[in-house]
Amino acid sequence: MPRHAFDWIDAQAEERRRAGLVRTLRPRAHDAALLDLCGNDYLGLARHPEVTAAAAAAARRWGAGATGSRLVSGSTALHAELEAELAAFCGFEAALVFSSGYGANLAAVTALSDRGTLVVSDAGNHASLIDGCRLSRADVAVVPHADPDAAAKALDGFGGRALAVSDGVFSVDGDAADLSALAAVCRAYGAGLLVDDAHGFGVLGAGGRGSLHAAGLAGAGDVVATVTLSKALGSQGGAVLGPARVIEHLVNTARTFIFDTGLAPAAAGAALAALRLLRREPQRAAAARGVAARLHDGLTAAGLTAVRPDAAVVSVQAPAPEAAVAWAAACREAGVAVGCFRPPSVPDGVSRLRLTARADLTGQQVGRAVGTVAGTAPAANSPSLTAATNARHASARNSSAGPSTRVESRTASSPPGSGPTG
């Protein structure tokens, strides 16, 4: 009797179960009483009355959906207004809005590289950048995390078209890239620089203008940024920011722009309202960073292994995947929702709890979160790991972590990518 076509799925499911890597969907209630430290609503704007009212007004005026791709019927005056204000706020010449941040990253990488291009990619990059590298048909050099010297070694002697891609703030541990050093390397070798600023936009830079603004690189002719509208702005979607000729090139070549339905008007309206609110209340960015620092200080004072945050992400090491899942579940039972990152979503294979700071968290809520996470910690979560983990990140920032790895295949040896898992 022939085997069923999808029997192999059962074998993979069993492997995931044995490894403690099963993911499950967990729908949340609209009025959940949980203290949310797992979402990415960094500035507390997702439920802000101005933002939700703008979403409703846009839906009433333009309809529930965009109705087509941006080049057909999916572009509205609202999209154009959002693009103009995003570019002006972040200090770039132009912007292009996409239906997701993932799609924006795929568009930027694939449109700015092709066969014959060398793409230098940080080993800690988000999965969307990695997938962009795989789809680009370029030669890809995956280099050690946060190591500009390794990027220089990968570029040295190449001589052709080249692009370096990096997160601005890495989503797993919340550490920031040394963009000034990376940009200097790119300029020394004539390479472009593409930065995914999903976790820096709204949190870093003057009034939340992002990692590149903080590094003095916003608006440079050889620099392109991607941002998400779903984190600091509390909405949905993504955007690419850069020189006008780059944006024009994307309009004509980026497949996730040309062949995807445009961002829903409600999401565009919400993002625009949130952006205007941030411009009016720039202190929200510093408030988010302050909450992250207090979370980190409280967790490490309790003996846990937490990486010092550069933005709004606080990473706490867990001893094993199963322990991380149980720990997150115990926190939830105690009324605090935290993220749980396990392989393959972590580039170093170490499971973590991931806490995201919000600008509107009170001191009492921060104390409650710290007490809950510390009070439910697995016994094997050794405090002695803290110094080693922080030293590893400091070393990655300040010295070469080893030779770069040239990957000639478009897919072989690429890391699995970082990002959220359940």
Instruction: For the beta carbon of residue 280, count every other beta carbon within 10 angstroms.
Output: 10
Tokens of 310: 């550069």
Strand order in the sheet with 336-341: 35-37, 336-341, 352-356, 313-317
- 375-393 CB burial, b ≥16 within 10 A, e <16: ebbeeebeeeebeebeeeb
Whether the CA torsion 169, 38, 238, 271 is positive or negative: it is negative
DSSP class of 208: G
Q: Can you list the positions of beta strands (E) in 11-114?
A: 35-37, 94-98
Q: What is the pLDDT of residue 344?
A: 80
* Pairing assessment for the beta strands 162-167 and 352-356 based on DSSP bridges: unpaired
Q: What is the pLDDT of residue 406?
A: 42
- DSSP helix/strand/coil, 143: strand
Beta strands (DSSP E) in 43-123 are 94-98, 118-122
Residue 420: per-residue pLDDT = 47
The Cα-based distances of 170 to 127, 198, 232, 313, 402 in angstroms read 11, 9, 15, 9, 20
Q: Name beta bridge partners: 261.
A: 69
- Chain segment 248-282, per-residue pLDDT in tens: 999 999 999 999 999 999 999 999 999 999 999 99
pLDDT, position 380: 64
The H or E element containing residue 289 is helix 283-301
* Residue for token pair 């094997």: 380
394 band by pLDDT with thresholds 50, 70 and 90: very low
The pLDDT value recorded for residue 390 is: 40
Q: Rounded mean pLDDT of the chain?
A: 90
Amino acid making up residue 245: R
Give the contacts of 257 (CB within 8 A, at least 6 positions apart): 69, 70, 71, 96, 98, 103, 107, 250, 251
Return the amino acid letter for 271. A
Backbone angles phi, psi at 239, to 5 degrees: -155, 155
Query: Radius of gyration (Cα) for the chain, nearest Å?
Result: 21
Contact, 116 vs 400, CB < 8 A? no
Three-state DSSP state, 337: strand
CA angle 121/122/127 to nearest 5° reads 80
Indicate the residue type of 214. A
Coil/strand/helix, residue 253: helix
Pairwise pLDDT comparison (394 vs 53), residue with the higher score = 53
Q: Which pLDDT belongs to residue 33?
A: 84
pLDDT digits (tens, 9 = 90+) for 351-362: 999 999 999 999
User: Can you give the pTM of this predicted structure?
Assistant: 0.89
Q: CA 347: distance to chain centroid?
A: 14
With beta carbons less than 8 A apart as the criterion, state whether 24 and 328 touch: no
Mean pLDDT of 307-325: 95
**pLDDT band of 407, cuts 50, 70, 90:** very low
**CA 252 to CA 237: how far, in whole Å?**
20
The average pLDDT across 7-36 equals 86
Element (H, E) at 314: strand 313-317
pLDDT-derived band at 179 (thresholds 50, 70, 90) equals very high
